Chains A and B, each alone.
Chain A
C-alpha cells in the first residue's frame, strides 16, 4: 500500500497543504477544517505537518459503534462513510495520534482519506515535505526519529546530567 510520509525538516510553514486539503474536503478555504494539521513552533521557526498515516491497528474503525469507518479497497485508507456517521466522537477519543476530527459544520467525523489515491497535499507541497510512498504495511513514520532524538536526553535525565541548552543545540 501507499502511505503519506512527512519530512518535517523540509517544511517551510506556508500552509499550502492545509489550504488545499480544506478545499478538497469542504470546497472552501479554511485551514482549521483541513484534516492535515501543521504545528508551528514560531520561536524556533520549525514546522511539523501531521496527518493520519492509516495505522495498521485502525483504532477509529474498531471504536466506531455503527461501523461508519471502513477500509477503502483501492487505497487501503481508513475512510469515514459520512452518511452513516452519528457524530458521537468516540473515534476522536480513541485515536492515539489525534488525527481524526469532528467537522464543526456537519458534526460528522472527518479524517484523511488519501483523496481517493491522489493526495492533494503531496501535489501542492512546494518543498516535497509530504511524500506518498509505497510501504509493506502502515508504519509510524516519526517513531524512529523521535526515538533517535529523545533517547540521549532520556538517558541523561536518568543519569542526572540533563542540560536543556545542549538539547536545544542538538535538535537544531
Chain B
C-alpha cells in the first residue's frame, strides 16, 4: 500500500531464527506507522512485568510511513523498548539513514527478540538476514565499529551500533546511527547491550512507491516553500541547534549549574554561532531526505586533547555538558561530546550526572575516595572528560553513576536527591520548565520521563506569528500564547502530543511541526493520503495520535504507573529560578493542569489511568480487557 509496506522483520537472537510478519494494512492509520506501531508491538510482545534487561524485552526499530520517500525531513525512525533507566515505556527517535535503509530492504519494523550468548551483529541485505559473530567488534567504540562494518561489507551499509557504554549496560546508553545520530534517551542502548547485539547493519535495493505521485509532489513543494520561508529553519542550518542557546540565555532560561541559575555569562563561548564563526564547525550534515541540515560536524586539533572530530555538539550537549557544568571551554566541550558519541552515551543524562556530582562536591557530600583525585569543581575540564570515560566503562564512582541519578542519589545519600533533576528516574532534558507552564505539564505527563520529545509546545511562547496562530487554533484565543499562563495548557499539550505521534509515525522531524510550523498536521495528513492512497482526514490522524498516546500511557499503567508518577523534579517544584523572579513550578499549579489534562483525555483523575469508555472509544478494547484482568483500570471500572 504505497509507501507503507506493512512488513515486520523478527529476529530471535537466542534461537537464531528470522521470520517475517505481515501487519494489517489498517494499522497504518490506526497507529500511524513508526512510533505507534512500535508501541503496539511492544504491548503485544513484552509481557507484563518484563525485566528491561532480560531476554523478553523486545527491541523494536520502526521506520516512518514516509521514510524512504522524497518528502522533506521524513527520514526519522523510532526505537522502542521497556526502559532500563525508568522501568517504564521508552521510545527514542533517531535521524540518520538507518530507517530509510530498513525501508529499502523491504521492512517497516525490525524486532529483536531474546538474548544471544555471544556478541553478535545483525546484517540485513534485502532478503538476506544474517546473525553474525561480533567478537571482533565487541569492546570497540561506535566509530570503529561502523567503519569496520563498512570495511567488511561495503560503505552502503547503514549501521546502528552501541559503544562500550551499551556493552556495560550503562542505564542511559545510546544506539548510535551513522556514527553521529543517537537514539539515546531512556537507555535503549543498554537494552541492545543486554542482548549482546553490537550492531545492526542494513542495506536495501527495493523501491519504495507512492500511491499518488502528482499530489505527493505538490505536497513536497508546499512543505519546502514553507520551510524556506521559516527563519528558524535557516538559523538551524547556519548555526545548528546549538545556535538557540544564546536566545535562551537572554531569556534567563538557560539551565546553568544543575538548574540553579538561568543565566550563564559565558554562553557565547559554547554557542553554535561561535563554533561557526571560529571554524570549529566544518560541515553541515543532513539526516535522510532533510533539506534543513541542522546537524554539525566539528573538528579541531585541540591543545589538551589532540584531534577531536565528531557530530554536533547539539543544543542538548552544549547545554548539558557546557552551561550545566559551567564549562565555557569549547575544546573541552567538543571532547566531551566526542567521547559521549563514540562511547555511546546520552549527553543529557551524562551531563546531568556530572553537574549533579559537582553540586554534591560543593555541598560537601563527596568523600575524597569518591572523588578519586578529581576536583569536581564547577567548570573543571578534567572532571568532565574523565567522568564521561568512567561512566561508560563503569570505573570507580562511574559504576554508581551509570545506574542513573536516582540510584546514585540513594548511594551518595543526604539531601542529594533534592538536586537530582529527574522524574520517573530519567534526567530532565535541558529546558527550564519553571518559566514555561505548557512545557512543565508536557514534561510531567511524558511517559518516558521529563523531556521535550513528547510535546515541545514552543508555540506557547508566542514568539512567532505562526505560533500565535496555532495557539488561537487550539484554544480559540490569542491571549493564551503566553508561557506564564496555566489555563488551556492541557489543550495545548494534547494537541502537541497528537502532532508528535503523527510526526514520529510518518517519520517527520518534529522540528518541522512544533518549532518551524512548516509541516503541520493538515500537510502531514495530505502526505499520508498521497503516499498510501488511504482517504484520511486531518481529524482522523489527530485522533489516531490520541490513541497512540493513550496506548503509551497504558504501557506504563500496565506496570503500575499512577498519578504520583506524573511529576516534575523536586528542584523545579520547590526552588524558584533566581535569574527569573517568580518563575516556579508548584504542586497546586501542576495539579490543576494535570486535572485538566486527564479530563481532556478522559482518564481517571485520581489514578490518572484511562477509563474503560475512553479505551473503548479509541478501539483499544483488548488493551482495556488486559488492564482489567490485571486490576489496573480505575476502581469503578474494575468492579
Contact, CB under 8 Å: B293 / A12: yes
Q: When each residue 151-186 of chain B gets 1 if its CB lies under 8 Å from chain A and 0 otherwise, what string results?
A: 000011000000000000000000000111000000
Choice from B3, B208, B293, B309 contacting A126 with Cβ under 8 Å: B293
* 30 sampled A-B residue pairs with Cβ under 8 A: A12-B284, A12-B285, A14-B287, A14-B289, A15-B289, A16-B289, A19-B70, A22-B207, A23-B70, A26-B207, A27-B209, A28-B207, A28-B208, A29-B3, A29-B69, A29-B207, A29-B210, A30-B207, A32-B205, A42-B146, A42-B147, A42-B150, A42-B178, A43-B309, A44-B297, A44-B309, A45-B311, A126-B224, A126-B293, A172-B282
B143 at interface, CB cutoff 8 A? yes
Which B-chain residue is minimally distant from A29 (CB atoms)?
A: B208
Partner of B291, one of A13, A44, A126: A126
Q: Specify the chain B residue showing the minimal Cβ separation from A105.
A: B207
Quick check: is A40 within 8 A (CB to CB) of the other chain? yes
- Pick from A14, A22, A30: contact of B293, CB under 8 Å: A14
The yes or no answer to A109 lying at the interface (CB within 8 A) is: no
Compute how far the CA of A32 lies from the CA of B146 in the bound complex, rounded to whole angstroms: 21
A31 within 8 A of B: yes
Q: Given that A40-B155, A124-B70 are contacting pairs, would A12 and B283 also be in contact in the complex, using a CB cutoff of 8 Å?
A: yes
List B residues 266-288 near A (Cβ within 8 Å).
282-288
Q: Give CA–CA (A40, B284) in the complex, Å.
A: 13
Question: In the assembled complex, which residues on chain A have CB atoms less than 8 Å from the CB atom of B299?
Answer: 172
Please give me the residue from chain B that is nearest to A39 by CB atom: B155
- Give residues of chain A (89-109) contacting chain B, Cβ–Cβ below 8 Å: 104
Whether A127 is near chain B, meaning CB under 8 Å from some CB there, is: yes
**Residues from 114 to 129 in A contacting B, C-beta threshold 8 Å:** 124, 126-127
Residues of B within 8 A of A32 (CB): 104, 156, 205
- Answer whether residue B418 sits at the interface, using C-beta atoms and an 8 A cutoff: no
Instruction: Give B residues with C-beta under 8 Å from A.
Output: 3, 68-70, 72, 97, 100, 104, 143, 146-147, 150, 155-156, 178-180, 205-210, 213, 224, 282-293, 297, 299, 301, 309, 311
Complex Cα spacing A12 to B72, Å: 14
**Complex formed: what's the CA distance from A23 to B213 in Å?**
10
A32 to B208 alpha-carbon distance, docked (Å): 12
Would you call A130 an interface residue if the criterion is a C-beta within 8 Å of the partner chain's C-beta atoms?
Answer: no
With an 8 A cutoff between CB atoms, is A2 at the interface? no
Q: Bound complex: CA of A16 vs CA of B291, how far in Å? A: 8
Residues of the A chain whose Cβ atoms lie less than 8 Å from the Cβ of B3: 29
Apart from A28-B208, A30-B208, A42-B146, 4 more pairs, CB < 8 Å: A29-B210, A32-B104, A126-B286, A126-B292
In the complex, A1 Cα to B259 Cα: how many Å?
61
Task: Report A-chain residues with C-beta under 8 Å of the C-beta of B282.
Answer: 45, 172
**Cα distance, A145 to B289, chains bound together (Å):** 28
- Shortest Cβ distance from A124 into chain B, in angstroms? 7
A residues engaging B (CB < 8 A)? 12-16, 19-20, 22-23, 26-33, 40, 42-46, 104, 124, 126-127, 169, 172
Q: Which residues of chain B come closer than 8 Å to A172, judged between CB atoms?
A: 282, 299
**Contacting residue for A16 out of B70, B206, B207, CB 8 A:** B70
- Is A33 in contact with B147, judged by CB distance below 8 angstroms? no
Most chain A CB inside 10 Å of its own CB: which residue of B70, B282, B284, B285? B70
Q: Is the CB of A45 within 8 A of B205?
A: no
Whole-angstrom CA separation of A42 from B143 in the bound complex: 9
Neighbouring B residues of A127 by C-beta, 8 Å: 284, 293
10 A-B pairs closest in CB distance: A28-B207, A14-B286, A126-B291, A45-B297, A12-B293, A12-B286, A30-B207, A19-B70, A29-B208, A28-B209
CA distance A39 to B173 in the complex (A): 30
Other-chain contact of A14, B104, B205, B291 (Cβ < 8 Å): B291
For the complex, give the distance between the alpha carbons of A141 and B301 in Å. 31
Among A12, A23, A32, the most chain B Cβ lie within 10 Å of the Cβ of: A12
Whether B291 lies near A104 (C-beta < 8 A) is: no
Give the residues in chain A near B283, CB-CB below 8 Å. 12, 45-46
A31 to B75, CA, bound (A): 14
The answer to whether A15 touches B288, judged by C-beta atoms less than 8 angstroms apart, is yes
- Provide the bound-state CA to CA distance between A46 and B283, in Å: 8
Across the interface, do A30 and B206 meet the contact criterion of CB distance under 8 Å? yes
Contacts of A15 in B (CB 8 A): 97, 100, 288-289
- CB A17 to nearest CB in B, in angstroms, measures 10
CA distance A16 to B73 in the complex (A): 10
Contacts A14-B286, A45-B283 given; indicate if A30 touches B291 (C-beta within 8 A). Answer: no
Closest-CB distance, A169 to chain B (whole angstroms): 7
Contact among A29, A33, A40, A44 with B70 in the assembled complex (CB-CB below 8 Å): A29
Report the bound CA distance from A30 to B284 in whole Å: 24
Q: Is A43 within 8 A of B143, CB to CB?
A: yes
Residues of B within 8 A of A28 (CB): 207-209
A20 CA to B213 CA, complexed, in Å: 12
Residue of B nearest to A120 (CB): B70
Determine the chain A residues whose CB is within 8 A of the CB of B292 once the complex forms. Answer: 126
Docked complex Cα distance between A25 and B311 (Å): 33
B480 to chain A, nearest CB (A): 34
Chain B residues with CB below 8 A from A44, complex form: 297, 309
**Complex contacts, A22 vs chain B, CB 8 Å:** 207
